[in-house]
Amino acid sequence: MQADYVIVGAGSAGCAMAYRLSEAGKSVLVIEHGGTDAGPFIQMPAALSYPMNMSRYDWGYMSEPEPHLGGRQLVVPRGKVIGGSSSINGMVYVRGNACDYDHWAESGAEGWGYANVLPYFKRLESWHSGGHGGDPEWRGSDGPLHVTRGPRSNPLFQAFVDAGREAGYETTNDYNGEKQEGFGPMEQTVWKGRRWSAANAYLRPALKRQNCHLVRGFARRVVIENGRATGVEIDRGGKIETISAGREVILAASSLNSPKLLMLSGIGPAAHLREHGIEVVADRAGVGQNLQDHLELYLQMASSQPITLYKHWNLFSKALIGAQWLLTRKGLGASNQFESAAFIRSRAGVQYPDIQYHFLPIAVRYDGQAAAEGHGFQAHVGPMRSASRGAVSLKSADPSDAPKILFNYMSHDSDWEDFRACIRLTREIFAQDAFKPYVKHEIQPGDAVQSDAALDDFIREHVESAYHPCGTCRMGRADDPMAVVDPDTRVIGVDGLRVADSSIFPRITNGNLNGPSILVGEKASDHILGRDPLPSSNAKPWVHPNWQNSQR
């Protein structure tokens, strides 16, 4: 039970590192507490609401009562399964905006600017435009992660893009290419009708090599001797064992479990560790701090035409779709149904998009539990860069206890302003001519909800996490007291230990976090192997020429 590298967590970043490190001839052991990802609930894209709500695939975490949301506790799904959250997510693929990475570099994550990360995004992708346009020069063609687009056959997908154009916004045929800003097709990690998770893309090929193995077990803490990480203590079938790392231990256990493991191992805010009787190995004030997420609402419209997915909202139709998918990997089951998207700016003076849209041709709850009144459609919308910061801390020194998660959502006035703007801008889009043939009336929030106070009440009650937690082991300069890892992903103050997952994001990126999490695994692999980084790109991404004076 020993290898050159021991990776904790078979999620988006962990699978990528297992693949790259074993490809380089190093021996790798991956520790994963979750079980198999086999079976239609995970592999069938349209079934995405099931695994996210199944305890066998999810850690089952809840936030603390959120003080600015009337004490609501929000569910915080994280994948407890091979592939991690890439096996239970909505399969939406977004790289993030170029300016996000430039901000990382400016805030101390040197070598992580857009020019540095773009070559890695190209390395990880096999991009398929499906004949819908796009930016081949900006995309990868032979990476492990297949990225595709849905068929967009429902007319509502085009109506959404047309309405955005009519409202005066940009359109883009590839938000992951030169130009993120605008309305256009959405991309998904689906290949040949199957969820293309990090497990399918990276881990399965890696495990075919002699030097990469998967260990099923629950990581309890990192073993540290004389200031150096030498292994990981795990609970395997009720027995406590230690897995030894010849070179390094790498935590890729999520933005919730990676800081928890650091703290259980004596790395974190000293006073907090002492409170729980944990011996301090390295006093790092930033461990567990800087927690960020995206919140979203859905605006739902009743449809005047029976063209939405509601016609399939019955057992018979679902069974037919499932059967067709099982036999052919085709049909409605082969898409996540998020096939149109938009990134816009909330106001003049915002340099790059700070609002994201997912458009869905059915009015339904995210957990798939309830359809709204008959035929309808919805836009999921939320601000990208909230000023609110939360924290992950320990409930106790017992590794089997869940971490304490407080997002501190909506704790800034700007959060409320941003959300009200989201609702009003969305209403304006749905009022365009392109939607005239389809809109009957607004279901949610409903026409009566107009004033700031009424909108705030609606937001407080209905806002949901987009499930993008990150930032709890922030990457920064080695002399930055709040940084947890340096730009090589090494934990500051301990030898032989790294963190490489969404924990290390200095600030949350635009859109869904699966792509950036895989990027971290890809780029960290080169740092771990001591390789020169891929040559920087000279590509110049599009920024709205009049962003200072114009909102669109």
- Going by the annotation, the residues of the binding site are 81, 89-92
Residue 44 CA to its chain's centroid (Å): 19
Distances (CA, A) of 348 to 61, 171, 321: 38, 18, 45
Binding residues for FAD: 81, 89-92
Which is nearest to 93 in space by CA: 150, 155, 51, 136?
Answer: 150
Q: Which residues contact 243 (CB under 8 A, 6 or more apart)?
A: 1, 2, 3, 6, 29, 31, 215, 217, 231, 232, 234
Residue 71 CA to its chain's centroid (Å): 25
Q: How far apart are CA 112 and CA 62, in angstroms?
A: 32
Strand partners, 212: 28
Distances (CA, A) of 543 to 111, 194, 540, 547: 22, 34, 9, 8
Q: What are phi and psi of 361, to 5 degrees?
A: -85, 40
Q: Which residues contact 377 (CB under 8 A, 6 or more apart)?
A: 156, 300, 301, 303, 308, 359, 360, 361, 362, 363, 438
For the chain, first and last CA: distance in Å?
Answer: 57
* 158: region left, alpha or beta (phi > 0 left; psi from -120 to 50 alpha): alpha
The number of C-alpha atoms within 13 Å of 473 and in the hemisphere containing its C-beta is 32
Q: Does the annotation mark 358 as catalytic?
A: no
Specify whether the CB–CB gap between 345 and 545 falls below 8 A: no
What are the start-end ranges of the H helices in 111-244? 114-124, 155-166, 198, 204-207
What are the start-end ranges of the H helices in 218-349? 254-264, 270-275, 315-328
Q: How far apart are CA 446 and CA 431, in angstroms?
A: 14
Specify whether the CB–CB gap between 1 and 211 falls below 8 A: no
Q: Which residues contact 39 (CB under 8 A, 6 or more apart)?
A: none
Burial (CB count <10 Å: 0-12, 13-18, 19+), residue 504: buried
Q: How far apart are CA 183 and CA 175, in angstroms?
A: 8
Q: What are phi and psi of 121, to 5 degrees?
A: -60, -40
Annotated active-site residue in 103, 294, 358, 468: 468
Specify whether the CB–CB gap between 285 and 481 falls below 8 A: yes
Q: How far apart are CA 212 and CA 199, in angstroms?
A: 13
**Positions marked catalytic:** 468
